[in-house]
Amino acid sequence: MKSFAGFPRRMQFTPLPNLFFSELLPEIDDVAELKVTLHIFQALYQKRGYPRFVTYGELIGDRALVAGVGDSVAIRRGLDLAASRGTILRLAVERAGIGEELFFLNTEADRLAVDRIMGGELDIGAVPKPEPVTETEQRRNIFALYEENIGMLTPIIAEELKDAESLYPASWIEDAFREAVGRNKRNWRYISKILERWRSEGKGDGEHRRYPREDRDKYIKGRYGHLVQR
């Protein structure tokens, strides 16, 4: 067995739904199915575009997955088991005259995407193929940023972070953490206030307005306004 050196202080994270641990993990007894399922979660998390999917060609072309599972036969078995269980959705399509298998997570949004593709409402050939984000482009996700800069996650904070990740661009989240750390305000409430302000006022060229307009007016038009405007 190869010894593992341990996790570094700074690293990438792939979030997994709680249902994976409570509903799926106790039922999965095939190692290939488990490894393929986890790999698909990780691969889809790095994708861009809509809809997000991973192709069979991408899976068997991934050296780490092949080395971990064994060969393409084991990968196929893992995919068949995961699809039968309902963890993933499998869709056979033809793009540019070539048959291709696409794999999606079995989520409400992806079920709708698959239905639209099958119904002819969404032309997968006209949709840019989702490309994996390169290592240099990959942004640390919000959970990693929190643990690196604030501390251990709690269930309540994790839910708030998931909501924020769906509301704000990744660049905003990184910038908000950076600003909070620079001001030595290492708490989520402060960071969320920054994001809320940028959302309501506009972030501009990477810089948010320091004070809301009503606060500025309070001082400019108030008793000492003649001093503030100097």
Same domain, 61 and 147: no
For the cut 90, the answer to whether the pLDDT of residue 10 exceeds it is: no
Write the pLDDT tens digit of every residue in 175-189: 999 999 999 999 999
| Cis preceding-peptide flag for 15 (omega within 30 of 0) | no
Same domain, 47 and 83: yes
Same domain, 96 and 156: no
**Domain annotation covers residue 197:** yes
pLDDT reported for residue 210: 39
The reported pTM is 0.59
Banded model confidence at residue 204, pLDDT cuts 50, 70, 90:
low
**Domain annotation covers residue 50:** yes
What is the count of structural domains for the chain? 2
Same domain, 22 and 107: yes
**What is the residue-averaged pLDDT of the chain?**
81
The fraction of the chain above a pLDDT of 70, given in percent, is 80
Domain that holds residue 190: 142-216
Same domain, 110 and 40: yes
pLDDT reported for residue 145: 84
**What CATH number corresponds to the domain at position 159?**
1.10.10.630
CA torsion sign, 46 to 52 to 58 to 62?
Answer: positive
Same domain, 22 and 78: yes
- Range among 106-115, 144-153, 195-204 with highest mean pLDDT value: 106-115
Q: Average pLDDT of 41-63?
A: 87
pLDDT reported for residue 161: 86
Amino acid at 36: V
**What CATH number corresponds to the domain at position 36?**
1.10.10.10
pLDDT reported for residue 140: 60
**Domain annotation covers residue 191:** yes
